Structure formats: C-alpha cells, structure tokens
Chain A
C-alpha cells in the first residue's frame, strides 16, 4: 500500500513537471500553429542556468534569476528565429525551430564540455518528508500544488485580462486582431515569455530528482510534454495539463511494476502507444477543437 502511494505521488509529481513544459508547447501552438521543437532545450538550458547561478548566488536570488534568463532566452528565440519567418510557410518555421534546438544543445555541449553537470541540492525541494507512511522528497508534494496555483493564475490571465483576451483573439485570427489595434508581435512575445517562465519553474522541480544534466537532458521530457499536449488536444491548456498528469502517472506506474515482470524498460514506448491509441479514437486529442477555422 505504501509502495502504491509512493508510486502515485511521484507519478503526479512527474506529471506536474511535464505539465509545466506542456503548457509552453500548447500556448505557442495555439497562437502560431508552430511546434516549438526548441522548447525542451530551453528547459534544459534553464536546468544548466540553475547549476551555474546557484553556484555563485544564494538560492533566493538565483532561482528567480533562472526564470528571468530563461524568459529572455525564449523571447530572443522568437524574435531572432521565428518572427523573421512570420510570412514564410509553416514548414520553414518548423525547420528554424529544429535548428534552434540543435543550437541550444550544441552550445550546452560547448559550455559544459559535454560532461554531465550535477544539479544542486535545493534544500526545500530535496529534503525528505513523511507522507502516509512513505518517505519522499518535498518536491513531490510541492509540484502538484505549484502546478495548480500556476495553472489557476494562467487561466485567470487568459480568461480575465485584456492581454489574455488578445491572446485568444490572435489564436483565432491574426488579421482581424490587427483590425482591433492589437499588436500581434507583442502578444506572441507574451506567449513565449509565459511558456519559458513555466518551463524554468518546471526545470527546477524536474532536475531536483535527477543527479545530473547533459545537453540532451531536455529532449525526453520535452518530447513527453509535447506528447501530453497532443494527447490533451494541442492548443488547449486544460488538455495539456491533464495529458501531462496522465502520462506522468502511467509512466511511473509502469516503472514501478514488479521487476520480475520485466516491463519497466518499456515505459517510454508505452507513453507513445497510449498516444496512438487515444488519437485513433479521438484524433483531436482530449480537448482539441474539431476541424480548425470554420466560419
């Protein structure tokens, strides 16, 4: 029983971390119809920033700075690599995103020398706590709460503020949004800023559970989060969050099955099998919209 609880807890926690990345994918897709392949690598860079900044600054200063720098990175990527291609075919932007992804990975390799970098111990995240008789790290408890808080703030922003209304308008129709006086580029920048900030928070939580970061460390969580976003119906925030929790929990359960069954190595494959099955029955994902842009 305690084992089951601890597996579930860590599944929820991993799911929450995926959710923070998945929101970035789904927001950007919702507005630009672009799969931002670089997003997982932005997440990795946030992890590295965490390592370098906590080495020189106290944690209350360095963690907020990680968010600030990650936001700057996301903002700059959009300005430099996506905005100039605004009128270009979507495929070109996609290729630009892949290019940025490799640029970030290669730069990380250059800076770290390709060595796995040890993620620092953040006391309030890695200290242990007793829950229902099992020992676990604080991060496992904090993650779902933090995700809930951040998602609530985000929905209030999107549904209750002027800029949120503009984001919803722009996601439907660039041209008519411009006729309202909305500055499209500003709205797109805001989208990247939000996505990057959430990825930065996610990276602090995620890497606390991992001994080290490599330049490839963003690829797998990024991919899982992307799958979560597709699974939930890409463009939908509740969909991405729900998808992320489902994937996190399923994956942790499979990893936690008795080792004599010998299935835990298949946990990643299972994630994708699950996605395929869902998409066969519900091609738009859980909360996705039916065919786009009907009048």
Chain B
C-alpha cells in the first residue's frame, strides 16, 4: 500500500444538498497513468476539484504520500506536488505564453530554465509564441499551454480534466501522444476523460464513474474489452 502516491477514500462532494460525488475511492501509484472515465455530469470534475482544494469535500479523505491533505488550501495542495490542468484549459488570456508557463511555477523559487526547455521540447509551438498573449492561441495550443503550465510546477501527480474536450481529432491525437511522453519521462498522471477509447489505450488502470460512484475498475486493457464499457462508452466511436 505504501507505494500509493495519491489515495482517495470515500470522497463525497455535494452542492447545496445535491450529492455529485457519493463516496469514491481510488488510488494512483508512483509512475502510473490512471484514468477516470464517465459521461457528462458523472462527477469527474467534482472529484478533481475536491482533490485540488477548489471545493470542500462533504466527506472522505485525500492523501498524498500518506499525508492527509483533505480540504487543505489550494496553495498548500499545490506546494505538496499536485498540479491540475482544469477543464476548459483556463489559460490566462492576458498573460503572455511565457508568463502562463512561469505562473505554473509560482511557488517555486529556483531556476526555471531547464523546465522551460523541457516544456518547449514537448510543445515547440509554444516557444515560437512565447511573447504572444495566451488568449491569441488556438484551442489546441491553449491546451498545450495548460499542460505545459502544470508541468512547470514539477508535479508529483499531474491531474488533467478532459484535455481532449472540444479539440479536433488530429489535435486530440497530439495531446495523447504528449501525455504518453510526459508519463514515459516519469510523471504520474491522473487523467479524466469522456473520450474513453483514447484514455483507456493510454492508461495503466482505469475507473468508470457513474452518478457519482465508481461502477467498474480494472486495467486499461480489461476495460477496453469489457462489454458494458464497450456498449456505454466505446459504442459508436469505438
């Protein structure tokens, strides 16, 4: 058990009495890509937002390397090594591309040159545009910027909320290729997706969320060949 980097136990989130997340437990081990898949409104974002301190969980526990970080202030959670790529990218449109990257390292005080080079290595286009305002980038470039920004925080776990949302299929391919490379270079990834096909192919392990509860879990391969998953999430697109 001790190799669990991130452990979520019986997490609950409610909005004014309406339970969006109803007792979710899962774990992410060092070096894994774990994915949570589920339909719109299943409670995926709420789960991530509770982990990163944006919403107070109604119950349950979040532990990073054995340390309880439940409902801590976001800045504390970031400082412990959890960085999130939010749903909808949410880059800062008024900051330059370079500043958007630097702000991902807001809590760091050391030299950023190496990390910037690494991010530009993944996303050469960001380097060409480093002086442009973030808001002038295309959707795909903004997603890359959002991922790069999170990497600048040197996360122990990189959490991504639907990075493929609203992007052209070819760009989605790029994004997943990058996720694979980031993972190969040693970053542990918690990936949330509606694009089950892509996510399950890249993931070591996966959980299916339905109505705020985990309904299935297994390795990426197991879930890809699971009949229920095929019917519900891989159907037409599979």
| A95 → chain B closest CB, angstroms | 24
Cβ of A8 within 8 Å of any chain B Cβ, yes or no, is: no
What is the number of residues of chain A that contact chain B, defined by CB distance less than 8 Å? 17
Chain B residues with Cβ below 8 Å from A166 are: 103, 106
Q: Which of B55-92 contact A (CB under 8 A)?
A: 73-75, 78-79, 83-84, 86, 88, 90, 92
Chain A residues with Cβ below 8 Å from B107 are: 180-181
From A133-141, A142-150, A167-175, A190-198, the one touching the partner chain is A167-175
Chain A residues with Cβ below 8 Å from B79 are: 181
How distant is the Cα of A181 from the Cα of B108 in the complex, in angstroms? Answer: 10
Do the beta carbons of A172 and B93 come within 8 Å of each other? yes
Chain B residues with Cβ below 8 Å from A175 are: 54, 86, 90
Cβ of A182 within 8 Å of any chain B Cβ, yes or no, is: yes
Chain A residues with Cβ below 8 Å from B83 are: 179
Do the beta carbons of A179 and B92 come within 8 Å of each other? no
With both beta carbons as reference points, the residue of chain A lying nearest to B146 in the complex is identified as A176
Do the beta carbons of A180 and B106 come within 8 Å of each other? yes
With both beta carbons as reference points, the residue of chain B lying nearest to A186 in the complex is identified as B75
Main secondary structure of the interface of B (DSSP, over half): loop
Cβ of B116 within 8 Å of any chain A Cβ, yes or no, is: no
How distant is the Cα of A171 from the Cα of B92 in the complex, in angstroms? Answer: 10
Do the beta carbons of B103 and A295 come within 8 Å of each other? no
Do the beta carbons of B90 and A181 come within 8 Å of each other? no
Known: A179-B74, A179-B83, A181-B74. A162 touches B106 (CB 8 A): yes
| B118 → chain A closest CB, angstroms | 18
Partner of A178 from B54, B88, B99 at Cβ < 8 Å: B54
Chain B residues with Cβ below 8 Å from A176 are: 86, 90, 92
How distant is the Cα of A96 from the Cα of B192 in the complex, in angstroms? Answer: 41
How distant is the Cα of A179 from the Cα of B53 in the complex, in angstroms? Answer: 9
Q: Which of B91-117 contact A (CB under 8 A)?
A: 92-95, 99, 102-104, 106-107
Do the beta carbons of A178 and B93 come within 8 Å of each other? no
Cβ of B52 within 8 Å of any chain A Cβ, yes or no, is: yes
Contact residue range for chain B? 20 to 34
Cβ of B153 within 8 Å of any chain A Cβ, yes or no, is: yes
Do the beta carbons of B75 and A165 come within 8 Å of each other? no
Chain B residues with Cβ below 8 Å from A172 are: 92-94
How distant is the Cα of A171 from the Cα of B103 in the complex, in angstroms? Answer: 14
How distant is the Cα of A265 from the Cα of B25 in the complex, in angstroms? Answer: 72
1/0 per residue, CB under 8 A from B, across A180-213: the answer is: 1111000000000000000000000000000000
With both beta carbons as reference points, the residue of chain B lying nearest to A176 in the complex is identified as B90
Do the beta carbons of B103 and A165 come within 8 Å of each other? yes
Partner of A179 from B54, B88, B94, B102 at Cβ < 8 Å: B54
How distant is the Cα of A166 from the Cα of B107 in the complex, in angstroms? Answer: 11
With both beta carbons as reference points, the residue of chain B lying nearest to A183 in the complex is identified as B75
How distant is the Cα of A166 from the Cα of B95 in the complex, in angstroms? Answer: 10
Known: A165-B99, A175-B54, A295-B88. A181 touches B106 (CB 8 A): yes
| A215 → chain B closest CB, angstroms | 39
Do the beta carbons of A182 and B90 come within 8 Å of each other? no
How distant is the Cα of A295 from the Cα of B90 in the complex, in angstroms? Answer: 8
Known: A173-B90, A178-B54, A180-B106. 17 other contacts (CB 8 A): A165-B99, A165-B102, A166-B106, A168-B95, A169-B95, A172-B93, A175-B54, A175-B86, A178-B53, A179-B90, A180-B103, A181-B78, A181-B107, A182-B75, A182-B106, A183-B75, A295-B88
Interface residues of A (CB under 8 A from B): 162, 165-166, 168-169, 171-173, 175-176, 178-183, 295
7 smallest beta-carbon distances between A and B, as pairs: A181-B78, A178-B74, A181-B107, A176-B90, A181-B75, A180-B106, A181-B106
A–B complex contacts, Cβ < 8 Å, 9 sampled: A168-B92, A168-B94, A173-B92, A179-B54, A179-B86, A180-B107, A181-B74, A182-B75, A295-B93
